[in-house]
Chain A
Amino acid sequence: MNQQPFSISVYEVVGDSICVSQADGLRLFEVLKAALDEGCEVVLSFAGVESLTTSFLTAAVGQLLLHFSEDDLKNRLRARDLKKLHTELLGEVVKRSRLYYADREGYTLGRERVLEAA
Chain B
Amino acid sequence: MQISFPREVRCNLAGYSWLARTGAQLEPLRREEIRFCGRGLSWFDANLCGPFGAILTACKLRLNTVSLDEIPAPIIQAWGQNGFYRHFGGADFVDHFDTTIGYRRFTLDEDKTFVRYLRGELMEKELPTMSRSAKARFESNVQEVFTNAVHHSFSVHGVFSCGQHFPHKNRLDLTLTDLGVGFGFRVSEFLNAPISSLAAIEWALEQGHTTRVGNIAGGLGLKRLAQFLAQNEGHLQILSGDGFYQQHGGKISRQTLRHSFGGSVVNLSFNTLDATFYSEDDETSAGEEIAIFG
Name the interface residues of A63-99: CB closer than 8 Å to any CB of B: 63, 66, 70, 73-74, 77-85, 87, 89-90, 92-94, 96-97, 99
Q: Chain B residue with minimal CB distance to A118?
A: B195
Contacts of B15 in A (CB 8 A): none
Contacts of B221 in A (CB 8 A): 53-54
A90/B282 in contact, CB under 8 A: no
New A-B pairs, 14, CB < 8 Å, besides A62-B216, A63-B216 = A20-B112, A22-B151, A47-B286, A51-B115, A53-B144, A54-B221, A58-B217, A82-B290, A96-B220, A107-B217, A108-B190, A109-B209, A115-B193, A118-B194
B219/A55 in contact, CB under 8 A: yes
B217/A84 in contact, CB under 8 A: no
B292/A84 in contact, CB under 8 A: no
- For the complex, would chain A's binding face be called helix, strand, loop or mixed by DSSP majority? helix
| Nearest CB on A from B147, distance (A) | 5
Contacts of B136 in A (CB 8 A): 50-51, 83, 85
Q: CB < 8 Å: which of B202, B287, B294 contacts A81?
A: B287
Is A114 an interface residue when CB atoms closer than 8 A count as contact? Answer: yes
Contacts of B288 in A (CB 8 A): 80
Give the distance in Å from the alpha carbon of A91 to the alpha carbon of B203 in the complex: 22
Is A40 an interface residue when CB atoms closer than 8 A count as contact? Answer: no
Interface size class of B (residues with CB under 8 A): 35 or more
Contacts of B209 in A (CB 8 A): 109-110
Give the distance in Å from the alpha carbon of A70 to the alpha carbon of B206 in the complex: 26
Is A23 an interface residue when CB atoms closer than 8 A count as contact? Answer: yes
Q: CB < 8 Å: which of A77, A81, A110 contacts B206?
A: A110
Name the interface residues of B266-294: CB closer than 8 Å to any CB of A: 280-294
A61/B292 in contact, CB under 8 A: yes
Give the distance in Å from the alpha carbon of A62 to the alpha carbon of B142 in the complex: 21
Contacts of B112 in A (CB 8 A): 16, 18, 20-21
Name the interface residues of B143-202: CB closer than 8 Å to any CB of A: 143-144, 147-148, 151, 187, 190-191, 193-196, 199, 202
A55/B144 in contact, CB under 8 A: yes
A78/B147 in contact, CB under 8 A: no
Is A43 an interface residue when CB atoms closer than 8 A count as contact? Answer: yes
A22/B289 contact (C-beta < 8 A), A100-B217, A110-B206, A114-B191 known: no
What's the tally of chain A residues with a CB closer than 8 Å to chain B?
Answer: 53
Is A44 an interface residue when CB atoms closer than 8 A count as contact? Answer: yes
B216/A94 in contact, CB under 8 A: no
B111/A20 in contact, CB under 8 A: yes
B292/A90 in contact, CB under 8 A: yes
Q: Chain A residue with minimal CB distance to B147?
A: A55
Q: CB < 8 Å: which of A79, A89, A109 contacts B208?
A: A109
| Nearest CB on B from A106, distance (A) | 10
B217/A62 in contact, CB under 8 A: yes
Is B133 an interface residue when CB atoms closer than 8 A count as contact? Answer: yes
Give the distance in Å from the alpha carbon of A52 to the alpha carbon of B281 in the complex: 17
26 contacts between A and B (CB under 8 A): A16-B112, A20-B112, A20-B115, A21-B111, A23-B109, A47-B286, A51-B115, A54-B221, A55-B216, A58-B216, A77-B293, A80-B285, A80-B286, A81-B284, A81-B286, A82-B285, A83-B282, A84-B285, A87-B285, A99-B208, A108-B191, A109-B208, A110-B206, A114-B187, A114-B199, A117-B195
Is B10 an interface residue when CB atoms closer than 8 A count as contact? Answer: no
Q: Chain B residue with minimal CB distance to A44?
A: B292
Q: Chain A residue with minimal CB distance to B197?
A: A118
Give the distance in Å from the alpha carbon of A77 to the alpha carbon of B288 in the complex: 14
Contacts of A90 in B (CB 8 A): 292
Give the distance in Å from the alpha carbon of A103 to the alpha carbon of B292 in the complex: 21
7 closest cross-chain pairs (CB), A and B: A118-B195, A21-B111, A73-B293, A100-B217, A63-B215, A118-B199, A55-B147
Give the distance in Å from the alpha carbon of A90 to the alpha carbon of B202 in the complex: 25
Contacts of A108 in B (CB 8 A): 190-191
